[in-house]
Structure 1
Amino acid sequence: MSSVLTMSPLRCTVCMKQLRVNKNSIVAVFFVSLLIFANFRYNQPTRFRFSHSNVNAVCTLPELDPFDSEIMKLNWHPRPVVCDDSLPFMYIDRKGFIHLNTTTLALKKLTKLDIDCTYQHVERQGDDDVIFKPEVHFTEPEYVHCDFVVGRCRDQTDQSIYENLLINLNSHLVFESKNIRNESQQQLSVLILGIDSISRNGALRKLPKTMKYVEDVLGGITFKGYTKVGENTFPNLVPLLTGRKADPNELPHIFGQGYFDDIPLIHHNFSKSGYATLYAEDWPAFSTFNYAAKGFKVPPSDHYIRPLYLAMKKLQPISTSLDQVLLYLEDKNIKIKSSSLCFRNQLKHVMFLEYFKRFVDSYTNRAKFAFTWINEISHDYSNFLEIADQDFVEFLMWLQNDGHLENSVLVVMSDHGSRTEEIRNTVAGRIEVRMPLLSVVLPERFKQIHPALVETLIQNTKVITTPFDFHTFLSDVLHNNFDDPPPLIMRDGKLPRGISFFQKIPKERTCADAGIHELFCACFTSTPVDISNNIVPKIAQDSITKINHMLVGVKHKCAELTFSKLIDAQLIESNFKRVKEDERFTLRKPLYPTRRRKKKIPCFV
């Protein structure tokens, strides 16, 4: 027997209409996608590229106004961040024991008998995935044998009333697996707080409280000549962490190998010397060793934050994927119910700092090396960074008040300045992108024991320095190289590429000496001016008149300056030349003309 499929005319008409609707939807989605692509590809601000025309010239560091008028036009204050208002039903104390939150239970008018709470270990599965282990029903307080767990609570009807990620730091396994030495003035710990895409001047604008605390309270020493050696994060952090250039000639197979387990990270040197180690970087899709790569087969440190952020994505796959879209809307001052800078009821950078705190606390008085790097809040939208200013200050206050800086070198730093086109298309931004933040805090006792080293380090803040120098400095700290530093050894008539901050770096150092490519050299250069030129003494006198005018309000304290003798005059030039062939076409190019100021500025000594 055969069967015949029949369809009524009405049903057929409905199907045809549905097919047309689906077809139209597909066409609409295609054109919307095309418009989005065209917008991001051709409707962005033009990126003007400049290179230095003489990297072999002696470097004169540029002095820029942090509050340059062009940049301040792009500066604005974001709204206070609002996370969701859910309450924490569980927490893990600093000793690693999990508890129910009695405050939340009281607010919810519940008892411990009214709810059933569990936790699941977050377990790393390679460098791009995690799994949640079977649920554990616990009797508090119970020690948690991992760094991250998913906590859940259900009511008596088995309805979920709570789910969140909890942060711990399980140091027991590390202590069982290796001997962690004690820290001391001869064996200093190193704590690095890295913040992506922030220049020294940018930090003065967006992190004023942090910078004031670092410099005025902690006595931090900020480097005015710290310069990037690569375009983005990867080529700047690789030299810092390995002492080598991110180049196949110096690190074979660094590109295309997928995994980075074999590169000589300085973490491993500290670990072999009996240090507990931490590598913490947020924003897993764009982190330094995972963007277009596979990261690490084996965690690069004793404690590794990446599984926390992968767990966030696993719990909230859709919203996490939309974070950057929502952050874009927030940057346009469009109010979002819950900020993409949050994970549920917590700011993500606060969770990050909490993990950092737990690492420091768990290894109190023990040698430790922490390399941490915050990306998401500052990478694309620099104005959001000020949201974290007070949180950074409170973290630094905690370090100081709990005595964690007595035998530790603290570093607050970045990899480069803001790379947003609007900022780096300004004259000041063009320099700032090349000169990231670097502030070093030395223990007070160390300063008393080694005043000559401190003085040398301060002198080096006024010359050009790089991540290669920073790596050498870290090696000196690791190997306790605090005696009088040996003289610099010239090789083939050239200075070493990496010179420790504890060694006196010659003022005559050039970008070429320091391994800085012409695209990243920020130095100005100077040439002598004939002082017999009639305009030279006139400009000198005008400068003195201007200084006296600025001192009018305190003239009872300051003697009036007078012109005595002209000793020397220098012509300062930026030496930047535009590289048009590297610039891509955009529809907005005519709206962003190349801003130029006078290149030549007389400077008198």
Structure 2
Amino acid sequence: MFVLKNKTPFKYLRINRNSVFALCFVFLLLFANFRYNQPTQFRFSHSNVSGVCTLPDIDPFDEEIMKFNWHPDPVVCDDSPPFMYIDRKGFIHINTTTVKKLAVGDIHCSYQHVERHEDDDVIFKPEMYVTKPEYVDSDFIVARCRDRYKKVLYENLLINVNSRPVLESRNIRKESPDRMSVLILGIDSLSRNSAIRKLPKTMKYVEDVLGGITFKGFTKVGENTFPNLVPLLTGRKADPKELPHVFDEAYYDSMPLIHHNFSRAGYATLYAEDWPAFSTFNYAANGFKIQPSDHYIRPLYLAMKKLQPLTTSLDQVLLYLEDKNIKLKSSSLCFQGRLKHLMFLEYYKRFVDSYKNEAKFAFTWLNEISHDYSNFLEIADHDFVQFLTWLKMSGHLDNSVLVLISDHGSRSEAIRNTVAGRIEVRMPLLSVVLPGRFKQRHPDLIDTLLQNTKVITTPFDVHAFIADVLHNNFDQKPLSKKDGKLAREISLFRKIPKERTCTDAGIHELYCACFTSTRVNVSTAIVTEIARASITKINLLLARVKDKCAELTLSTIKDAQLIESNFKRVVEYEKFTLRNFIFQPEQDRRKYLILFKAAPSNALFEVTASVASDNAIDLGDILRTNKYRDQSKCMVDRLLRNYCLCV
């Protein structure tokens, strides 16, 4: 017995040692995976930020990008009918149709004002029972209905815009062709190319119906949202050197937001940004002590969290599962039966409607639906079109400038580490819609805007553009230089020189997306091969009409340019991971721009071609650069007219 008693502890100790060793090994593997096996994220900088810029022309449907593109199913939220609603005039009602349909008798409905408490909390005020329609003097309320046993049958957040205090206490001016409103709709992490992929209906409506102008050279000036929105809203760099008084304080109240300029000029103002934990001025910061605008959406999202603390805390986890196509009972993009982005757009609509014909400035920014998982954005495509259609049909764009904008492209490592993704992350969306009467009065300014779509532009320039709208400043004076340099901030209404460089525009080498071109000897083998391949492609296009059009041959090559991205990998900016060590980033393909003449038509053609490492050629569109005049009079097809020499 004595021996057994002595052996048992040693046996127990030996088992424990093995368990401890195994446990330590598992923890070591987990640590190694967490520390060294993170998703690959390569960093690149531009090696020639002072060179003349050639804007990159990247296919929105590049095959490497399309590997990560998929179409989510439409999101259907819980469609339980509402017991209460607030009409457009701000009066609350009990929905008698719903009550009768559900055969609910003896119910009692009430609401609580949602009151902002500094910038990170809300208070629900005492309940007020509804006996008849009454005006709601709050932007957001918690609405509830109970049965005779006090059981809650309905609970939801309702949206209003309480404009009365603003209109009574301030001299809000009337909007007019000389005092235009500004309506900004911002969408996080959306490149111009991604907008073409994920918001095709929206972009078609903006450009084809509203006559919007989309800027192909719009470039970010910082890594994430904050350093791109600060220049947009203040005209200054998000840097303690340029905003020392702001960065020395606990709150951002002294940030010189352009909202305040509009407010002082007699405009009603709105600042709406969803996803409160990651809002621009609240992420790792305190936000605003005093509400930054007349109307402010943040209390709505804080109230969501207060009503449903568990589900709102799990939203990002659930959205991750949805991104992996794991079906859930209800999408995390919903709140109480409604898509959250629709609630956002409803608040926007109510603001615009409440101040109809009044001068107003609205800055809105959607984060959650696009920030981490870009594919979900297409869920909102139809809703954006409906919102824009409503703006147009209701006359809200008659005296308003509409700006659709983003801060950067997708920062997801999977997309960002492709060649196309490296460009897209640097080049966000910017589209501008101007009133029809403004276009008629200022055709020269429209020409300038169109020219500026083909040069580098930045959030600094958009700030100057918005300021010009505020001050009704449309005088096209020549650009002045200081110490021989162009100003960092140039309004989109001013002609921006084609020679503008990333350095001129205040774009750091990490964010410059410009390509540069170098002249190549026209007799180089690859150049000749590209020109001949282009002639072959043209003749294949003409093959079905060879009875009408002559076969073309290569006459001369007039010019050849090698187009390079100038991206160089910067290892010191990267965290070491096993994947970074094992895998290598995709290499840029060589691009050539070739100008050549064909015989016997003497047609001049321009083609851009990508060349892989094995010299495989991928031809882009072949564009005719001189007029065909009567050469193609026998041809009806618009495309073939460019190539056909009638026989």
Give the alignment's TM-score, normalised by structure 2.
Answer: 0.85
Q: How much has 1:597 moved relative to structure 2?
A: 3.1
Alignment of 1:340-419 (within 5 A): 340-419=332-411
d(CA) in 1 for partners of 2:297, 2:490: 31
Conserved? CA contact 2:562–2:590, under 8 Å: no
- Deviation string 1:99-144 (CA, Å, 9 cap, x unpaired) is 0112211221135xx1100000000000000000000012321000
SS of residue in 2 equivalent to 1:546:
helix
d(CA) in 2 for partners of 1:557, 1:332: 54
Q: Which amino acid aligns with 1:190?
A: V
Q: How much has 1:535 moved relative to structure 2?
A: 5.2
- Deviation string 1:523-550 (CA, Å, 9 cap, x unpaired) is 0001222345565455334334334545
SS of residue in 2 equivalent to 1:512:
helix
d(CA) in 2 for partners of 1:310, 1:355: 15
Aligned counterpart, 1:440: 432
Q: How much has 1:263 moved relative to structure 2?
A: 1.2
Q: How much has 1:346 moved relative to structure 2?
A: 0.7
1:215 is the counterpart of 2:207:
yes
d(CA) in 2 for partners of 1:348, 1:438: 24
Q: Determine which of 268, 274, 279 is the counterpart of 1:282.
A: 274
1:75 is the counterpart of 2:66:
no
1:472 is the counterpart of 2:464:
yes
Q: Which amino acid aligns with 1:459?
A: Q
SS of residue in 2 equivalent to 1:91:
strand
Q: Which amino acid aligns with 2:261?
A: N
SS of residue in 1 equivalent to 2:346:
helix
d(CA) in 1 for partners of 2:306, 2:324: 28
1:492 is the counterpart of 2:483:
yes
- 538-547 vs 146-155, greater mean Cα deviation: 538-547
Q: How much has 1:563 moved relative to structure 2?
A: 4.7
SS of residue in 2 equivalent to 1:568:
strand
d(CA) in 1 for partners of 2:31, 2:299: 32
Q: Determine which of 437, 446, 457 is the counterpart of 1:454.
A: 446
Q: Which amino acid aligns with 1:360?
A: V
Distance change >3 Å, CA 473–CA 31, structure 1 → 2: farther
Conserved? CA contact 1:46–1:585, under 8 Å: no
Q: Which amino acid aligns with 1:493?
A: G
Q: Which amino acid aligns with 1:337?
A: K
d(CA) in 2 for partners of 1:520, 1:554: 48
Distance change >3 Å, CA 35–CA 548, structure 1 → 2: same
Aligned counterpart, 2:99: 105
Q: Determine which of 488, 501, 506 is the counterpart of 1:510.
A: 501
Conserved? CA contact 2:262–2:269, under 8 Å: yes
SS of residue in 2 equivalent to 1:205:
helix
d(CA) in 2 for partners of 1:152, 1:441: 41
d(CA) in 2 for partners of 1:554, 1:86: 61
SS of residue in 1 equivalent to 2:403:
strand
Q: How much has 1:344 moved relative to structure 2?
A: 1.5
RMSD of equivalent CA atoms: 2.4
Aligned counterpart, 1:91: 85
Aligned counterpart, 1:180: 172
1:266 is the counterpart of 2:266:
no
d(CA) in 2 for partners of 1:256, 1:341: 37
SS of residue in 1 equivalent to 2:99:
helix
Distance change >3 Å, CA 506–CA 603, structure 1 → 2: farther
Conserved? CA contact 1:247–1:254, under 8 Å: no
Q: How much has 1:598 moved relative to structure 2?
A: 2.6
Aligned counterpart, 1:522: 513
Q: Determine which of 177, 190, 193 is the counterpart of 1:201.
A: 193
1:573 is the counterpart of 2:564:
yes
1:192 is the counterpart of 2:179:
no
Conserved? CA contact 1:246–1:254, under 8 Å: no
Q: How much has 1:481 moved relative to structure 2?
A: 1.0
Aligned counterpart, 1:119: 111
Q: Determine which of 286, 297, 312 is the counterpart of 2:304.
A: 312
d(CA) in 2 for partners of 1:92, 1:35: 56
Q: Which amino acid aligns with 1:160?
A: V
d(CA) in 1 for partners of 2:439, 2:157: 41
Conserved? CA contact 1:466–1:514, under 8 Å: yes
SS of residue in 2 equivalent to 1:118:
strand
1:546 is the counterpart of 2:537:
yes
Conserved? CA contact 2:560–2:592, under 8 Å: no
SS of residue in 2 equivalent to 1:372:
strand
d(CA) in 2 for partners of 1:381, 1:597: 25
Distance change >3 Å, CA 288–CA 574, structure 1 → 2: same
**Greater fraction of residues in strand:** 2
- Deviation string 1:75-106 (CA, Å, 9 cap, x unpaired) is 11112213223321100011100001122112
- Deviation string 1:182-210 (CA, Å, 9 cap, x unpaired) is 11111111111100001000011111111
d(CA) in 1 for partners of 2:247, 2:546: 62
Give the alignment's TM-score, normalised by structure 1.
Answer: 0.91
d(CA) in 2 for partners of 1:183, 1:138: 36
Q: How much has 1:569 moved relative to structure 2?
A: 2.4
d(CA) in 1 for partners of 2:235, 2:298: 24
Q: Which amino acid aligns with 1:505?
A: I
Percent identity reads: 74
Conserved? CA contact 1:82–1:337, under 8 Å: no
- 538-547 vs 128-137, greater mean Cα deviation: 538-547
Aligned counterpart, 2:420: 428
Aligned counterpart, 2:287: 295
Larger RCO, structures 1/2 (Cα 8 Å, 6+ apart): 1
Distance change >3 Å, CA 563–CA 368, structure 1 → 2: farther
Q: Determine which of 236, 239, 244 is the counterpart of 1:252.
A: 244
Q: Which amino acid aligns with 2:41?
A: R
SS of residue in 2 equivalent to 1:84:
coil
For structure 2, list consecutive stretches of 5 or more residues without a partner in the other structure: 1-18, 596-605, 607-647
Q: How much has 1:568 moved relative to structure 2?
A: 3.0
Q: How much has 1:39 moved relative to structure 2?
A: 5.8
d(CA) in 2 for partners of 1:279, 1:85: 29
Conserved? CA contact 1:223–1:439, under 8 Å: yes
SS of residue in 2 equivalent to 1:513:
helix
Conserved? CA contact 1:572–1:603, under 8 Å: no
For structure 1, list consecutive stretches of 5 or more residues without a partner in the other structure: 1-23
Q: How much has 1:586 moved relative to structure 2?
A: 3.0
Distance change >3 Å, CA 305–CA 464, structure 1 → 2: same
Q: Determine which of 43, 52, 55 is the counterpart of 2:49.
A: 55
Conserved? CA contact 2:527–2:594, under 8 Å: no
- Deviation string 1:376-416 (CA, Å, 9 cap, x unpaired) is 00000001111111111110110011111111111111100
SS of residue in 2 equivalent to 1:162:
strand
- Deviation string 1:159-180 (CA, Å, 9 cap, x unpaired) is 1111110000000010011111
1:501 is the counterpart of 2:492:
yes
Q: Determine which of 145, 155, 158 is the counterpart of 1:153.
A: 145
d(CA) in 2 for partners of 1:309, 1:32: 40
- Deviation string 1:410-441 (CA, Å, 9 cap, x unpaired) is 11111000000000000000000000001111
Computing the radius of gyration from Cα coordinates, the structure with the larger value is 2
Distance change >3 Å, CA 187–CA 598, structure 1 → 2: same
Distance change >3 Å, CA 470–CA 32, structure 1 → 2: farther
Conserved? CA contact 2:172–2:358, under 8 Å: yes
d(CA) in 2 for partners of 1:555, 1:95: 68
d(CA) in 2 for partners of 1:33, 1:314: 36
Distance change >3 Å, CA 280–CA 555, structure 1 → 2: farther
SS of residue in 1 equivalent to 2:472:
coil
